[in-house]
Structure 1
Amino acid sequence: MERAELADWLRLSLTPGIGDGAARRLLAAFGLPGQIFGQTAAALRQVLSQAQAEALQAAPAGLQAAIDQTWQWLQTAEVNGVTRRLVTLGDTGYPASLLEMADPPLMLYLLGAADFDLTQLRHSIAVVGSRNPTPQGATNARSFARALGDAGLPVVSGLALGVDGAAHQGALDAAGDTPRLATVAVVGTGLDRVYPARHRDLAHRITLQGLIVSELPLGTPPLTQNFPKRNRLIAGLARGTLVVEAALASGSLITARLTSEQGKEVFAIPGSIHSPQSRGCHALIREGAKLVESVNDILEELPPLRTQGPAAAPAADGPASSSHTPAAEDPLLDALGFDPVSLDALSARTGWSAAALQARMLELELEGHISRLPGGLFQRMAST
């Protein structure tokens, strides 16, 4: 992209009062941004309101700084195998799935491996969920993402804490050292910053075996109003969305709703009826989302996506599969069940003393069979 072309696209996207909808009308009427800015005020008023037409005839504040910053960012196009790119609505590499949305973004900033592009995401699955998942929820997110990766499907998520981060890690686990598009992180900031900062190392791993994507200009901080926009891109890029854990008031449910509105599949993992983090998934299932216990429940709904044989995603890899049982049954695990439970309740169920229970629970925790929850509760891990 030449600097003049970049300047025109940035001017169009940054002009106050010209949202994506108005910008798309202008592109449809006049062609590329350079042609738009050559139109008379009378011609612009055929497409825009008078206030919008007047705003478009003056360069927005801060435009030159944005041009300089973005141009400089693009000039360091490749550092240690990581490339920086800008894809506009007029480019042939713009993902077709986003063109089917009601409000596709004008520009997409890409940070990642040089050989990957967004057109490869036609077979991807979004994995989203709570920022504060239960231990089992985090395990499910990572295990399902790994199983999807083993089946050859890229995983799309939002780089947030909790389920998103676990999903990206699982997809990277599946890729190993193989140079392929493992995962895509759609973020709600400019690509010159990492949010949350705790995921800086994860973001670097993603740039080596995937992509980080944003529609927001460089320098954009993490503003609350931008994350629903991020969610719509996650839904738009992926073939379907898996919700691992979500409260009833959750951004993940926004992503699921947008996925459904786009005519795509929504999947949800059920959980304990006592867990607030399961209520969003249960609500989705009541509304028609497919209940998922293993990755094969996803693959069978999307048969064209199965790129390998049945061994690509064995049932045993499905972390929530009810058919998976431990090699040696433990009576304490049977008494624990799969819902969170207190030590007092376990003592009443088993007749064990508190001291004996504490000793055995510590052993099971160290072996990875149970997890310790806030409030003195324990929960069995489904992988056992």
Structure 2
Amino acid sequence: MRCDDDIDALLRLALAGGPAAPRRGLLERFASAAAACRAGPDAWRIAGLDADQAQALRQPDRAALARARAWLAAPGRHLLGWHDPDYPPQLRRTPNPPPALFVAGEPARLWHPGIAVVGSRAPTPGGREHAREFAHAFAASGLAVVSGLAAGIDTAAHEGALEAGGLTVAVLGTGPDVAYPRANAGLLERIAASGVVVSEHPPGTGPHRGHFPSRNRILAGLALGTVVVEAALRSGALITARLAAEAGREVFALPGSIRNPLARGCHRLIRDGAALIEGPGEAIDALAAQAAELATDLRARLCAPISPSQGNDAAPAADPPPADPDHQTLWNALGHDPTGMDELVARTGLTAAAVSSMLLLMELEGRVASRHGRYFRSR
């Protein structure tokens, strides 16, 4: 099979599976995914690929490759490689980032400052309510809410963010098109339409026990901090918290009753150094400086001309600086009434990717707000 097309080559690397580090090494060593695939078995062996990975590169699963190509052909779907400048910087700084990400939604939104909300799949009613309330507050404050689409706390967190009209990111341990549990298929569609769905696994990949602990490193890596709402002493949420701490991220835990077994994991985290929080504002304040730093990174990536707002109480300027005509065009197209992405693309004549990236930056700077996937100038 020829390896001249970069997307096809990246798909082959993603489908090869196995340890991530050797595949990242190939993408770092060669100018493109296509060049990495063309390098051949000797180069693959030197990079550390095992025999199974090398065989998968030589003879990829044709059915899986066709399924992935078909998934990518639909609007709003992307394959983001380690060598791509738009690869999320927060994830890039973690110990073992994936070599490629399947993304449903705008990849630039993975740069958005976010906070992970995780916990038990079978929470108490109070835990579920806390997850929804905290996620709603985080989303309303401008933070993305990152979670894993699992039952229980994850579901409540995603729903709370969507109810606030904010951004939520679902990190899956399945393919990007496979909801787990199946009952969350509708929620997955809603997130793909207005937020972002991310997976390192190709389309069609079903649930496997080993994928979920691995998924948690992406979840923790995309977020500035992780909030654990309820967790038993042996739970995936504690794995996520540990991975967040190892990546140098903040870890927060909600205290609970000493008689609640789902509070014991949180209490252990607090004893081990996690920050005890009783309200969402405590986490928002703790992450404010890091969120501003990430916004600066995004400005540098986009070379955007808009000056940051001077705080929540400062009135936004009437117009952004006109140094960049595309930013000025988009600003002129925005009004005080919520406007959908398709309408903004039609008004400006810009691509959807360009509009989405500029809107993200304007959101970070407080000039633009969004509600249910529609955008308007902040008052």
Verify same fold: TM over 0.5: yes
Residue 104 of structure 1 aligns with an amino acid whose one-letter code is: P
Does residue 280 in structure 1 map to residue 271 in structure 2? no
SS in structure 1 opposite 2:176?
Answer: coil
Residue 85 of structure 1 aligns with an amino acid whose one-letter code is: H
Q: CA deviation at 1:42?
A: 4.4
Deviations 1:23-74 (A, max 9, x none): 12222333323212333554444433784796377323x1x22221111112
SS in structure 2 opposite 1:233?
Answer: helix
Distance, in Å, in 1 between the alignment partners of 2:172 and 2:225 is 18
Inter-CA distance 7–285: structure 2 relative to 1 (3 Å threshold):
same
Does residue 101 in structure 1 map to residue 86 in structure 2? no
- 2:136 aligns with 146
- 2:35 aligns with 35
- 2:24 aligns with 24
Deviations 1:151-172 (A, max 9, x none): 1111000111110000111111
Distance, in Å, in 1 between the alignment partners of 2:6 and 2:144 is 32
Aligned partner (choices 289, 292, 312) of residue 277 of structure 2: 292
Aligned partner (choices 60, 77, 97) of residue 84 of structure 1: 77
Residue 48 of structure 2 aligns with an amino acid whose one-letter code is: L
Aligned partner (choices 202, 207, 212) of residue 192 of structure 2: 207
Distance, in Å, in 2 between the alignment partners of 1:211 and 1:32 is 25
Structure having the higher Rg: 1
Distance, in Å, in 2 between the alignment partners of 1:49 and 1:24 is 10
Residue 127 of structure 2 aligns with an amino acid whose one-letter code is: G
- 2:9 aligns with 8
Mapping of residues 119-130 of structure 1, within 5 Å = 119-121=110-112, 123-130=113-120
SS in structure 1 opposite 2:116?
Answer: strand
Mapping of residues 60-75 of structure 1, within 5 Å = 60=60, 62=61, 64-75=62-73
Inter-CA distance 303–15: structure 2 relative to 1 (3 Å threshold):
closer
Distance, in Å, in 2 between the alignment partners of 1:50 and 1:171 is 41
Inter-CA distance 56–209: structure 2 relative to 1 (3 Å threshold):
closer
Residue 75 of structure 1 aligns with an amino acid whose one-letter code is: A
Inter-CA distance 167–67: structure 2 relative to 1 (3 Å threshold):
same
SS in structure 2 opposite 1:190?
Answer: coil
Distance, in Å, in 1 between the alignment partners of 2:110 and 2:236 is 25
Inter-CA distance 22–200: structure 2 relative to 1 (3 Å threshold):
same
Query: TM-score, normalised on structure 1?
Result: 0.71
Aligned partner (choices 201, 211, 214) of residue 226 of structure 1: 211
- 1:250 aligns with 235
| Stretch moving more, 269-278 or 39-48 | 39-48
* C-alpha RMSD over aligned residues: 2.4
Distance, in Å, in 1 between the alignment partners of 2:229 and 2:53 is 46
Mapping of residues 192-203 of structure 1, within 5 Å = 192-203=177-188
- Show structure 2 runs of 5+ residues with no match: 293-308, 314-379
Q: Which has the higher helix share?
A: 2
Distance, in Å, in 1 between the alignment partners of 2:185 and 2:161 is 17
Aligned partner (choices 91, 95, 108) of residue 117 of structure 1: 108
Answer yes or no: is the 8 Å Cα contact 1:109–1:213 preserved in 2: yes
Distance, in Å, in 2 between the alignment partners of 1:131 and 1:201 is 18
Distance, in Å, in 1 between the alignment partners of 2:47 and 2:271 is 43
| Stretch moving more, 2-11 or 144-153 | 2-11
Distance, in Å, in 2 between the alignment partners of 1:131 and 1:158 is 11
Query: TM-score, normalised on structure 2?
Result: 0.72
Inter-CA distance 70–147: structure 2 relative to 1 (3 Å threshold):
same
SS in structure 2 opposite 1:150?
Answer: helix
Q: CA deviation at 1:274?
A: 0.4
Residue 120 of structure 1 aligns with an amino acid whose one-letter code is: W
Inter-CA distance 260–56: structure 2 relative to 1 (3 Å threshold):
same
Residue 27 of structure 1 aligns with an amino acid whose one-letter code is: L
Answer yes or no: is the 8 Å Cα contact 1:6–1:67 preserved in 2: no
Inter-CA distance 6–43: structure 2 relative to 1 (3 Å threshold):
closer
Distance, in Å, in 1 between the alignment partners of 2:94 and 2:175 is 22
Deviations 1:52-106 (A, max 9, x none): 796377323x1x22221111112222xxxxx222211122211011111121112
Q: CA deviation at 1:239?
A: 0.3
Identity %, equivalent residues: 44
Residue 95 of structure 2 aligns with an amino acid whose one-letter code is: A
SS in structure 2 opposite 1:300?
Answer: helix
Inter-CA distance 8–271: structure 2 relative to 1 (3 Å threshold):
same
Deviations 1:334-383 (A, max 9, x none): xxxxxxxxxxxxxxxxxxxxxxxxxxxxxxxxxxxxxxxxxxxxxxxxxx
Corresponding residue pairs, total: 293
Residue 145 of structure 2 aligns with an amino acid whose one-letter code is: V
SS in structure 2 opposite 1:302?
Answer: helix
